[in-house]
């Protein structure tokens, strides 16, 4: 995770976003229709996202719109990813984002991050679990180069690092690799010592 930039601005109060996300309608957690089209149950994720921004009178950037359309026309993404994108669209429907004209950048960055994040966290956790709910709200601000109102850049960065699932998994993976390398070195040292002891015994 990079440090906040010098041009970082103060965003809305975190409590406002947390409350907004906690009131997310259940339709945004439904499975995408292509996942179980035989039964006819589910939601057309693409239409849901487009309709949401249309109702908010927000025009999605052409690049973002095309990325969503391409992903839907050739569905290679998991249902969990689309559920995450649906939830992300709802979070960005908070008026603060489009009134400040930061939605385009934040939503575009969020699509890629949520693609990875939903591999390890189910979308429903971002509503049911307080820590994951705060994580997503703080990430949304971070993607827009914003920080919660009333927090310094250092406070915002430290709190997000403590909550960021992918950042934590990356640290854990690096620690695991370091432990593996240390164990391999210890094993080679022990083998070398054993060979040296065996050679000494043979000479005697």
Contact indicator for 109, 97 with CB cutoff of 8 Å: no
Assign 101 a pLDDT band (cuts: 50, 70, 90).
confident
Indicate the SS3 state at residue 32.
Answer: strand
In our burial notation (b when 16+ CB lie closer than 10 A, e otherwise), range 3-34 reads ebeeebeebbebebbbebbeebeeebbbbbbb
Dist. CA 124–CA 106, nearest whole Å: 21
Assign 4 a pLDDT band (cuts: 50, 70, 90).
very low
C-alpha closest to that of 148 among 8, 21, 1, 19: 8
- List beta partners, residue 9: 146
**Residue 77 pLDDT > 90:** no
Contact indicator for 12, 148 with CB cutoff of 8 Å: yes
Q: Which long-range contacts (CB under 8 A, 24 or more apart) does 75-79 make?
A: 75/32, 75/34, 77/115, 78/118, 78/119, 79/31, 79/32, 79/35
Dist. CA 57–CA 54, nearest whole Å: 5
Average pLDDT of span 61-79: 87
- The tens digit of pLDDT for each residue in 22-66 reads 999 999 999 898 755 555 678 999 999 999 999 888 888 899 999
The better pLDDT of the pair 129, 199 is held by 129
**Residue 196 pLDDT > 90:** no
């Amino acid at each position: 995770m990079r440090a906040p930039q010098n041009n970082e601005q103060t965003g809305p109060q975190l409590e406002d976003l947390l409350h907004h996300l906690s009131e997310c309608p259940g339709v945004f957690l439904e499975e995408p229709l292509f996942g179980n089209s035989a039964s006819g149950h589910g939601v057309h994720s693409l239409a849901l996202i487009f309709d949401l921004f249309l109702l908010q009178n927000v025009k999605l950037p052409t690049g973002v719109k095309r990325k969503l359309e391409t992903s839907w026309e050739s569905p290679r993404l998991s249902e969990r990813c689309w559920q995450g994108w649906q939830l992300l669209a709802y979070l960005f429907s908070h008026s603060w984002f489009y009134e400040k004209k930061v939605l385009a950048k934040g939503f575009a960055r969020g699509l890629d991050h949520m693609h990875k994040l939903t591999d390890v966290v189910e979308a429903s956790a971002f509503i049911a679990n307080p820590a994951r709910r705060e994580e997503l709200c703080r990430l949304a601000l971070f993607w827009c180069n914003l920080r919660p109102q009333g927090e310094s850049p250092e406070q915002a960065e430290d709190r997000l690092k403590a909550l960021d699932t992918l950042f934590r998994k990356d640290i854990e993976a690096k620690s695991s690799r370091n432990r593996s390398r240390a164990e391999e070195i210890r094993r080679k040292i022990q083998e070398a010592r054993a060979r040296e002891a065996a050679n000494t015994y043979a000479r005697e």
